[in-house]
Amino acid sequence: MSLAIINLGDSHLGDLKGSQIGGDAVVCADGLISSIGSSSEIRAADHDAVVDAAGATLTPGFIDSHFHNSFGDYTPRQLAVGYFESYLHGGMTRAISASEIHVPGRPRDVLGVKALAITAERCFRDYRPGGVTLHAGSVILEPGLTAADFAELRQAGVWLAKAGFGSFAVPMDYVPVVQAARAAGLVVMCHTGGGSLPDTKAKIGADEILAMHPNVAGHVNGGPTALSATENARIVSEGGDIALQVVRAGNFRSAMDITRRALEGNCLERLLIASDSPSGSGLLSLGILSLMAELASVGPLSGRQAIAAATGSVAAVYGLAAGRIEIGRPADLLVLDAPHGSSAKDAIGALEHGDVAAVAVAITEGVVRFARSRNTPPPTRRVRVIDSSDR
């Protein structure tokens, strides 16, 4: 499958600077980005499909680093089926499991949590609901898990772990288990803030996060109950390389505070924008786009910084090949534009104005999945997809 995207206006490579890609055309072949160059060099007959961006903006697909999957394209928390495609229509081309805690009757013993993580990883290894790639199988950290268990999980293909929903007496008991998981090569996210489920009441605050030192402070702005500004300051200033994941389902005031502190502390590479859904907050298919617009309008970010926090910065923290528009990387891409009627001239300007950008085209694995989102407003420009049957 060969796809060409031509007549690009602005673009965002996925890096923190928001660099442009160095051309106005991108070619994708066999699921990867194969070349970046000039539209004048593209021959439509050489490709199975051509996207005419008509001056719209190309960005990497968004990576939701806090996604609550279960099994299949179904969420028991919301009793919804087929929701992955709805998130794709909000720009999410890839997601990372925040652990399969919403699976009904989930196990809590060592053998059970290992089996759950391995099964989830296997189920989504090649399954692409709605065209979305999900990195599933995040082992829920429970008492009794040892270094040998984490080595076994890593060998089986599990590389994610989640702290905060286990049966530990006090949150500080997570410390040696988190450190053992990290030592085995797992990327560990930890719940931050007050309890989010009816049966979880323990607060995980700055003391616990700093002692555990997970890779990611999950929903550091609360999921949904936030920490104090003093605790936010400690996690940002004392947390070293701990990623600061702010989410749409969290406390927006806290998200603003943490983002401002990351900017002032010159550590914006740690900031990740995610949704934390489906959850008690519901299905948030526009969660990432909405939080981008808020943080880039009334918040302290530029539009380009907001996009980086949902693309290349996520990829860097989790070690993913996706998230940047470079040759050889996965062809997960979005054509974005200012929504029809916006006072902004392009997608990034729209975010900075507080408007949800229009998702004109979503591409995953080098395949056009749709040519106008059903969840965002229509684009200002006349973006077209021309396939071989139209020529």
Buried b (16+ CB within 10 A) or exposed e, 220-242: bbbbbbbbeeebbbbbbeebeeb
Query: What residue segments make up the domains of the chain, in order of their start?
Result: 2-60+324-390, 62-285
Strands 57-60 and 333-337: antiparallel
Q: What pLDDT does 198 receive?
A: 62
Element (H, E) at 140: strand 138-140
Tokens 């200033």 belong to: 237
Q: 329 with 288: CB under 8 angstroms?
A: no
Architecture of domain 2-60+324-390: Roll (2.30)
User: In which element (H, E) is residue 209 found?
Assistant: helix 206-212
The yes-or-no answer to whether 2-60+324-390 and 62-285 have a common fold is: no
What is the pTM for the complete model shown? 0.97
Residue-level pLDDT at 1: 85
Q: What is the pLDDT along the chain (391 residues), one digit of tens a residue?
A: 899 999 999 999 999 999 999 999 999 999 999 999 999 999 999 999 999 999 999 999 999 999 999 999 999 989 999 999 999 999 999 999 999 999 999 999 999 999 999 999 999 999 999 999 999 999 999 999 999 999 999 999 999 999 999 999 999 999 999 999 999 999 999 999 987 666 666 799 999 999 999 999 999 999 899 999 999 999 999 999 999 999 999 999 999 999 999 999 999 999 999 999 998 889 999 999 999 999 999 999 999 999 999 999 999 999 999 999 999 999 999 999 999 999 999 999 999 999 999 999 999 999 999 999 999 999 999 999 998 666 5
DSSP 19: -
Mind spelling out the 3-state secondary structure of 215-281?
CEEECCCCCCCCCCHHHHHHHHHHCCCCEEEEECCCCHHHHHHHHHHHHHCCCHHHEEEECCECECC
The domain 62-285 is placed in CATH, from the list 3.30.360.10, 3.40.190.10, 3.20.20.140, 3.40.50.150, at: 3.20.20.140
Q: Is residue 121 within 8 Å of 156, Cβ to Cβ?
A: yes
**Please, how many CA atoms are within 13 Å of residue 59, restricted to the half-sphere of its CB?**
32
Residue 167, pLDDT score: 93
Q: Check residue 387 and give its pLDDT.
A: 83
Q: How far is CA 58 from CA 6, 16, 161, 305, in A?
A: 10, 16, 32, 15
* pLDDT at position 186: 98
